[in-house]
Amino acid sequence: MALPLTDRGSVPLRLDDLSLSFAADVPVLDGVALEVEAGSTLALLGPSGCGKTTLLRVIAGLERPDAGTVRVGDRLLTGPGVHVAPEQRHVGMVFQDWALFGHLDVARNVGFGLPRSERRSSPRIDRSLELVGMTEFASRRPDTLSGGQQQRVALARAIAPEPSVLLLDEPFSNLDSSMRVRVRSELHELLGELGITSVFVTHDQDEAFVLGSTVAVMSSGRVVQCGTPEDLYERPVDAWVAAFVGDADFVPGTAHGDTVETPLGVLPLADRRTGAVRVLVRPEHLRVVADPDGTPTDGPAGLRGRVVLVEYVGRATTVHVDVGDLVLRVCTPGGPTVGAGEDVIVQHGGGVVQALDPASGAPS
């Protein structure tokens, strides 16, 4: 178990009403307000171009917003008439491409952000390398390291000056998919041990959910929803968020207080509603059973349809069922139990469902 990086203690990060436009009338950040608790990790999740990196750069002091404030603990870093220089913010950053210097060895890469007297050798370099498990590679050049090792050097360099806040911009984008999952787990463990307030940018929902104690979903420069991964998955504010954070299909429904009438049957509602709604159904909430006689009125309750696609990925199978005016996805553990072209009945497991406004943003 690593020791805490700094004895300064963790501090919260607070962003209020941040707005920034590079071109007139096209806001890249539009009233962003977020709070990251001391020692916790916030994941910024959103599609390409929604403003995630720009927000990170504003926190780092690399961009000046048109309006709004950035506070770390009691320190105002950005605000009306205030702009603390990036090097005086105590904010560390791990860039997308890691930005390691090929001509410097690992130890000197890690020492790069330290005062001149500490750059060649210092207890802070040794400590950071130890924290990321790279001590034995101190004299190697970055191009002799694997992608995962280079990523750890970039992290060691960011934490060596003992920052109050650590910013990570898609730090896994240079890794292949099997390495990503392993390095993600390592980083998850390390961030927990460091207890450093962190903001992590990604467009990958799994990464956001694994690393973020809180996740902020952004779209077009705005925070659409911020909450725990469970909040976002179980209680998305609209259909767009529902589909962005996981596989989501929607069926029409009529809500009657704590239940909703749907083509899949009468289901319990998470929140009381009345009137027309869109009901969120996740593939794992559904199951398929064979409908051998194809009789529309007899047999078990559910929605009748025909299997159009079966996708088996080892641990689970997703079956796409055409039920008339839409295709529902059904995900069950293990191998396929039905085949393409078969008539089936789609049933809901009966758990509580989330009702969204009928006009709730169409998923793209």
Binding residues for ligand ATP, per CB under 6 A? 22, 28, 46, 48-54, 203
- Nearest 5°: the CA angle 169, 39, 55 is 30
Give me the least distance between CB of 178 and ligand ATP, in Å please. Answer: 22
For the record, the structure tokens of 232 come out as 């976002």
Residue 187 CA to residue 189 CA, distance in Å, equals: 5
Burial (0-12, 13-18, 19+ Cβ within 10 Å), 9 = exposed
Closest separation in Å from C-beta 46 to ligand ATP: 6
CB of 58 to ligand ATP, least distance (A): 10
Structure tokens at 314: 């080892």
Closer residue to ligand ATP (CB): 46 or 111 = 46
Nearer to ligand ATP, 206 or 311 (CB): 206
* Least spacing, CB of residue 179 vs ligand ATP, in Å: 20
Is beta strand 165-169 parallel, antiparallel or unpaired with respect to 91-94?
A: parallel
- Pick 127 or 180: Cβ nearer ligand ATP: 180
Q: Is 153:110 a contact under the CB 8 Å cutoff?
A: yes
State whether the Cα torsion 119-125-129-132 is positive or negative: negative
Nearer to ligand ATP, 54 or 360 (CB): 54
Nearest approach, Cβ of residue 52 and ligand ATP (Å): 4
What is the DSSP secondary structure assignment for residue 137, as one 8-state letter? Answer: G
Using alpha carbons only, what angle is made at residue 104 by residues 101 and 105, rounded to the nearest 5 degrees?
A: 115
Cβ nearer to ligand ATP, comparing 5 with 28: 28
